[in-house]
Amino acid sequence: MIKIKTMAEINAMRDASKIVKDTLDLIESKIQVGMTTKELDTIAHDYIISVGGYPACLGYYGFPASTCISVEEMVVHGIPSDDVVIKDGQIVSVDITALYNGFHGDAARTFMVGNVSSEKRKLVEVTKECFFKGLDAVGIGAPIGNIGHAIQTHAESNGFSVVRDFVGHGIGVDMHEDPNIPNFGHKGTGIRLKEGMVICIEPMINMGTHKLDFLSDGWGVVTRDRLPSAHYENTVAITEDGVEVLTL
């Protein structure tokens, strides 16, 4: 069931979303070669708690950390670890969800650390562009399929592939709500967007194949060909005044 939000609820989601934005900005200022992903997770956890929020990933279906941090070929749901040391030239995706006053905000960024190759840099930049292509397709009455079509078209025109096993989603009181927001599809298909819907658009774009392998830890997901993957996500509200990205 799709939960339509009132303006008061969207205002509450702005607060949670600002915490997410500020946490990602903090991570961007701190991330460097030689850090562990666990150190980054601690920075994010401590900041979210310090401003009165809760890192909603922590304990979610048993997830053992406050953020998902995915390095290189890890697509999503990487578990932060003292054993994962960030190396020069790597790309690192950080996905954060904060709960504040009963509502969630959710966003992800892929950071380029040190001397990143031109191929990886293009992947990260195109993934971000894919989000904004999808955002351009959002509006009252627009079919959800238009979002995925715009993302897929841009990714594939740049020689990349779109992850199909994971999608964007609605968000609000719950971290994941209806509807699903695929990053692929056909124009004119799917339910039509309505005023008061809040969704997460989150392109996950691979350098090589879209096919994935699931790790034995029950969480981590990697590209089958072990080529890099990038992730860019924001929480988006549809209001009578237009479309607002809450996590920017």
Tell me what the mean pLDDT of segment 172-178 comes to. 97
Q: Model confidence at 99, in pLDDT bands (50, 70, 90)?
A: very high
How many CB atoms are closer than 10 A to CB 247?
25
Q: Which residue has the tokens 């999503």?
A: 76
Q: Can you tell me the mean pLDDT for 156-180? A: 98
Task: Output the CA angle 216-230-3, nearest 5 degrees.
Answer: 85
- Is residue 47 very low, low, confident or very high in pLDDT (cuts 50, 70, 90)? very high
* pLDDT for the residue 211: 98
Give me the pLDDT at residue 128, please: 98
Tokens 């609605």 — which residue? 170
CA distance 37 to 145: 35
Confidence at 141, pLDDT banded by 50, 70, 90: very high
Reported confidence tier of residue 87, pLDDT bands at 50, 70, 90: very high
Number of C-beta neighbours around residue 248 at 10 A? 11
Q: Which uninterrupted H or E stretch holds 16?
A: helix 7-30
Task: With cut-offs at 50, 70 and 90, classify the pLDDT of residue 245.
Answer: very high
Q: What is the pLDDT of residue 70?
A: 98
**Per-residue pLDDT averaged across 181-207, rounded?**
97
> So what's the pLDDT on residue 26?
98
Q: What is the pLDDT of residue 210?
A: 98
Strands (E) across 121-239 are located at 161-162, 168-170, 177-181, 198-201, 204-206, 212-214, 221-223, 229-231, 234-239
pLDDT at residue number 11: 94
Q: How far apart are CA 25 and CA 47, in angstroms?
A: 11
Closest CA to 108 of 116, 96, 100: 96
Q: 217 CB contacts (<8 Å, ≥6 apart)?
A: 79
Say what the pTM is.
0.96
pLDDT at site 225? 98
- The answer to whether 202 touches 155, Cβ cutoff 8 Å, is no
Q: What residue type is assigned to position 75 of the chain?
A: V
Domains of the chain: 7-245 (3.90.230.10)
